[in-house]
Structure 1
Amino acid sequence: MATHLELLFVSTQDAAADVERLRAVLTPRPEGLTRISFACPTPTLDRRLVEAVPQQSLPWEALHGTSAVQAVNRALLLGREDVLLLAHPLVALGGAVVELRAVLAENDRACALVPTPDYSGFDESERARWLEESRLPRAVCLPTPDLSVVLLSRAVLDMVGTLDETLGSLEEALSDWCLRAQRLGFITLRASRALFRPNGPLPSDLPDMSRLDARHPYFRGQREVSLADMRTGLAARTVASARGDLSVCLDIRYLPEDAINGTSVYAIELCRAMTQHTSARLSLYVGTEKQRKSLEPLGLPIYVNSGLPDHVQLLHRPAQVFSLPHLQMLLHAQVPYILSYQDLISYRAGSVWPGGEDQARYQLASYVAVRGAQGLIAISDHNRREVIREFHVPEEHVHTVHHGVDMAAFARQPTDDSAGVLQPLGLPRRFFLFIGSDYAHKNVKLLLAAYVNFRARWKGHGEMPGLVLVGHPSGTQDGVFPFLRQQPLPGVHFVGGVSHPVLRALYHQAIAYMYLSAYEGFGLPLLEAMAAETPILCSRFSSIPEVAGDAVLYADTMSDLAIAGQMIQLAEEPSLGRTLAAKGKARVAQFTWKQTALKTYEAYREVLRRPSLMSLTDRRFLKEFLSRPLLP
């Protein structure tokens, strides 16, 4: 760190505010401060400023000029050390000056250091603790200072010279000086942890960009890149979020317009719980008017394929990215984004896609989306481990947040008439239930084979139990739902999509819920079945044991014969079903949307406080690589 420092204080017409700014910098007196120069817009210096200078043999001098730039130049010519220029109504907080000097000392190509304006009103001791624990980049590049509160390197001052007095304002002259220094390979930095708070309205007059662009032809493009770089305002957003002032926009353009699936339930229930249980200010970003209308009952601000409002501090995409336009929006947003990566089925299973090129494009989109995200949410520990291994991201970058379930929406009530609700469907009185799509990993073919064996071996009394399938066709070559419509199997009832009252009645009437999936990121229907006190027969793969625990009957082996035997056991032994239902009811109490919302909110704050260093480095260049040719 440089040994000595000079303070160049530009006074204003508000002497009382000037005194506060001066005392904030001098208390405690910065180590190595050798002198104070007052650049005065009037011929005389207000005596209150002189009285604010500590009586510690600290020399001071008042310098007047025909303009603020001329007065500053006189002080720069007389100085010998690094110069801390204070020309805006900002008050230094805590160790702001120490941090500015430390960053300057570790960056030998820095010509100017700018602090971060703090509008949060956060308690100073709490702010210091928050920043100490954060993982903010210590400094980020700016084209030029955006405030006339700046630490200038004496070595570069001696090389570049003083400010241009022909320019109209101090801000313009300072920007021009930094651009001149850039020609020699120097940079302007913003110190993320050096905070100054406003103690008055900031000047609204900006440098004359047209004049600066004419002098420095590269400046316009450099300015545009900087304005689009979310790192520029990251520190200010981080400090603001520390008090809970957190505005989050959920990008849910991917939601189907006419169907409900697990991803839809997650997004909608998360919105409701976040609104009810956290202080986050939520808004939604959708792709169509039809989506907007369907989501209006949530009572949240909704934006349809438009720019994000300025108050948004963080984007959350509660699902993977399947299209390039969706990915580009995330990368080009001027705020950090967090991504819920729910499973790797589409990433790994070629059968999900029409061809290999489609899968390859999705894999590329996934890789870029993950590398550009400031944080990832995994919906199970199993999901988290897979994402870390597949994309080689740091462990602290990925947060596990389990799904929840609305217990009241599925719980049994004395007034329920499930049989009456289901009567129009013409279903058997007793049946096994499956809810989901017919993707290959859902193992619907295995379930059908097991049910055929179940029917062949059934020796019970009364009506033969049926098999009810609920869901929408996946459209893949392995999908079986369309064939069931054309050639129904005995006892199998494919009913497609159903309303919530019908879904609830199906759970209540089922002998057991069948969940033989070979892969799940979480398994939301498990929670729904437990909440409905429906016994479950399921596989042991991926995240399923993590969610189901000991509250289910696991398939002994994944053979149709063995599964048929367990189906017979469930149909013939009501006591087994009651035991499983009781265990499920106790276990599902651990999974609430309130807990999901609270943990998601903490993930939001953690992403701003400790953003992914990998993504801070990669995101800008990934965006540029995807949006323009690499070479002319």
Structure 2
Amino acid sequence: MIEPLLNGGRQDGIGVYTAALQRHLPAAGCQVSAFSYPRWGADASVISVGQALPQSFEAATLRDLIAPKAHRMHMPVDIFHTPDYRLVRMDCPQVASLHDALPISHPEWCNPRLRGLKNWLQRSATRKADHVIALSHFAIDELVSCFGIDDSRVSVVPCGIDDGWLAAPAPAAVRATLAANGLREGYFLFVGTLQPRKNVERIIAAWQRLPTATRAERQLVLVGSSGWRCEDTVRRIDGARQRGEHIVWLNALTDSTALRHVYAGAGVFVFPSLYEGFGIPVVEAMGAGVPVVTSNTSSLPEVSAGAAVEVDPLDVDALSAAMQALAEQPALRAHCIAAGVARAATLTWRETARQTAAVYHRVLSR
């Protein structure tokens, strides 16, 4: 029995990924022990998930720097798997999931206060890990280019969705959630943190270029909290709403059931992100039976695999035209819905866990 160790994360993309592995790895034949790093200088018993690791990440990293050949942190596990770049020297094989190389490939989209640290930590993780998991082939190319990692030490294991996303929720429950949030069925939907690379301002501009009748019938619904450098986007949202435009920003929607209902009520999902290591919301929308408009860049064509309408994310007119086509052309809608559901059925967390367990076995058999 393989016993991987997972350190917890907040419920952003990495947090969703971590929680999904914890749920599904047992069915893939792995006994999972969850651990968290205690905060530096804080009571070691105050942790977010599972048991406390022997040292804080900061203290263990400092130890690695000062005495790299000294005694390694002992862990009572067969293999240690970190779902992000927080990796220190241990006395067991180690696997790291590296989601992208954004701080190096596109530093303009990262907080400058954290950019250098994240670059260093990711480089360190690629050196310490026995094997690296990437979420897409695009991500492998980025990791090789930016970190110089040997691609023979990297395996692609895509993200996914829970099987429940492929089953339609109860219509009455969907209607209740929509009513509680002021939504009318058939809207254009975006899900993601508001930050520059998510391209939300161009989504708004594209929606505003739609015919007046379309905008009156179909709201633009944005689901996601405020992120770094989102001030201009927030001002644009507020200005449009003050002018009476039908834009709804759900910035505090955290319940997974409610989010599933919001997807179910959408007419078109719009995700023209400028950069993604994977792009879980695209799979969520396809699994929910919503036709998708997405970018023709980064990992997104690999994720959608022809099941979405792909556009240049910098071309507002092309984005607007794609949104209108998916809203008004029944044949195109039907094709994208059917192709999307079929694609999403191949991208489940159950399958992610199975492939992840296979990586563990390969590492342990060396």
**Common fold by TM > 0.5:** yes
Q: 1:408 to 1:291 in 2, by over 3 A?
A: farther
Verify: 1:458 aligned to 2:215, yes or no.
no
- Looking at structure 2, the residues matched to 271 and 397 of structure 1 have their Cα atoms a distance apart, in angstroms, of 23
Helix, strand or coil: the match of 1:306?
Answer: coil
- Looking at structure 2, the residues matched to 527 and 304 of structure 1 have their Cα atoms a distance apart, in angstroms, of 33
8 Å CA contact 1:270–1:593 kept in 2: the answer is yes
Kindly provide the amino acid, as one letter, of the partner of residue 132 in structure 2.
L
- The superposition leaves residues 331-361 of structure 1 with CA deviations (integer Å, 9 ceiling, x where unpaired) of 2x22232110001123333334443x64223
Structure 1: unaligned runs, 5 residues or longer: 1-244, 296-301, 322-326, 611-632
Kindly provide the amino acid, as one letter, of the partner of residue 314 in structure 1.
I
Q: 1:310 to 1:262 in 2, by over 3 A?
A: closer
8 Å CA contact 2:268–2:326 kept in 1: the answer is yes
2:35 match: 285
Kindly provide the amino acid, as one letter, of the partner of residue 573 in structure 1.
Q
- Looking at structure 1, the residues matched to 178 and 27 of structure 2 have their Cα atoms a distance apart, in angstroms, of 33
Shift of 1:362: 2.1
What TM-score do the two structures reach when normalised by structure 2? 0.85
Helix, strand or coil: the match of 2:32?
Answer: strand
- Looking at structure 2, the residues matched to 369 and 277 of structure 1 have their Cα atoms a distance apart, in angstroms, of 25
- The superposition leaves residues 46-103 of structure 1 with CA deviations (integer Å, 9 ceiling, x where unpaired) of xxxxxxxxxxxxxxxxxxxxxxxxxxxxxxxxxxxxxxxxxxxxxxxxxxxxxxxxxx
- Looking at structure 2, the residues matched to 434 and 426 of structure 1 have their Cα atoms a distance apart, in angstroms, of 16
- Looking at structure 2, the residues matched to 435 and 391 of structure 1 have their Cα atoms a distance apart, in angstroms, of 30
Bigger CA radius of gyration = 1
2:83 match: 318
8 Å CA contact 1:320–1:342 kept in 2: the answer is no
Q: 1:492 to 1:583 in 2, by over 3 A?
A: same
Verify: 1:493 aligned to 2:243, yes or no.
no
Shift of 1:389: 2.4
1:139 match: none
Helix, strand or coil: the match of 1:534?
Answer: coil
- The superposition leaves residues 517-564 of structure 1 with CA deviations (integer Å, 9 ceiling, x where unpaired) of 111111111111111101101111111111101211112673112211
1:261 match: 12
- The superposition leaves residues 205-225 of structure 1 with CA deviations (integer Å, 9 ceiling, x where unpaired) of xxxxxxxxxxxxxxxxxxxxx
1:250 match: 6
Q: 1:339 to 1:480 in 2, by over 3 A?
A: farther
- The superposition leaves residues 456-478 of structure 1 with CA deviations (integer Å, 9 ceiling, x where unpaired) of x3345x9431111111111x224
Q: Of the candidates 315, 327, 333, which is equivalent to residue 571 of structure 1?
A: 327
Shift of 1:392: 1.8
Kindly provide the amino acid, as one letter, of the partner of residue 572 in structure 1.
E
- Looking at structure 1, the residues matched to 166 and 236 of structure 2 have their Cα atoms a distance apart, in angstroms, of 28
Structure 2: unaligned runs, 5 residues or longer: 39-44, 56-72
What TM-score do the two structures reach when normalised by structure 1? 0.50
Deviant stretches of 4+, over 6 Å: none
Verify: 1:609 aligned to 2:365, yes or no.
yes
Kindly provide the amino acid, as one letter, of the partner of residue 335 in structure 1.
C
1:551 match: 307
Shift of 1:282: 1.1
2:263 match: 507
- Looking at structure 1, the residues matched to 237 and 202 of structure 2 have their Cα atoms a distance apart, in angstroms, of 18
- Looking at structure 2, the residues matched to 265 and 347 of structure 1 have their Cα atoms a distance apart, in angstroms, of 24
- The superposition leaves residues 600-621 of structure 1 with CA deviations (integer Å, 9 ceiling, x where unpaired) of 11211222333xxxxxxxxxxx
Name the stretch that deviates more: 501-510 or 512-521.
Answer: 501-510
Helix, strand or coil: the match of 2:201?
Answer: helix
1:4 match: none
- Looking at structure 1, the residues matched to 271 and 173 of structure 2 have their Cα atoms a distance apart, in angstroms, of 25
- Looking at structure 2, the residues matched to 593 and 468 of structure 1 have their Cα atoms a distance apart, in angstroms, of 26
Q: Of the candidates 235, 243, 265, which is equivalent to residue 483 of structure 1?
A: 235
Shift of 1:494: 0.8
- Looking at structure 2, the residues matched to 480 and 547 of structure 1 have their Cα atoms a distance apart, in angstroms, of 29
Name the stretch that deviates more: 493-502 or 537-546.
Answer: 493-502
Q: 1:339 to 1:512 in 2, by over 3 A?
A: same
Helix, strand or coil: the match of 2:217?
Answer: coil
Task: Give the alignment of 1:322-361 within 5 angstroms.
Answer: 327=87, 330-331=88-89, 333-355=90-112, 358-361=114-117
- Looking at structure 2, the residues matched to 463 and 545 of structure 1 have their Cα atoms a distance apart, in angstroms, of 31
Helix, strand or coil: the match of 2:209?
Answer: helix
Helix, strand or coil: the match of 2:275?
Answer: coil
Helix, strand or coil: the match of 1:281?
Answer: coil
Name the stretch that deviates more: 588-597 or 507-516.
Answer: 588-597
Kindly provide the amino acid, as one letter, of the partner of residue 492 in structure 1.
I
Task: Give the alignment of 1:75-224 within 5 angstroms.
Answer: none
- Aligned alpha-carbon RMSD (Å): 2.4
Q: 1:291 to 1:571 in 2, by over 3 A?
A: farther
Kindly provide the amino acid, as one letter, of the partner of residue 91 in structure 2.
Q
Verify: 1:273 aligned to 2:24, yes or no.
yes
1:532 match: 288
Verify: 1:437 aligned to 2:193, yes or no.
yes
Shift of 1:376: 0.3
8 Å CA contact 1:438–1:480 kept in 2: the answer is no
Q: 1:384 to 1:557 in 2, by over 3 A?
A: closer
- Looking at structure 2, the residues matched to 337 and 493 of structure 1 have their Cα atoms a distance apart, in angstroms, of 44
- Looking at structure 2, the residues matched to 459 and 470 of structure 1 have their Cα atoms a distance apart, in angstroms, of 23
Kindly provide the amino acid, as one letter, of the partner of residue 25 in structure 2.
M
1:399 match: 155
Q: Say which structure, 1 or 2, has more relative contact order (CA 8 Å, 6+ apart).
A: 2
Task: Give the alignment of 1:464-475 within 5 angstroms.
Answer: 464-474=217-227
1:220 match: none
- Looking at structure 1, the residues matched to 292 and 208 of structure 2 have their Cα atoms a distance apart, in angstroms, of 19
Kindly provide the amino acid, as one letter, of the partner of residue 344 in structure 1.
A
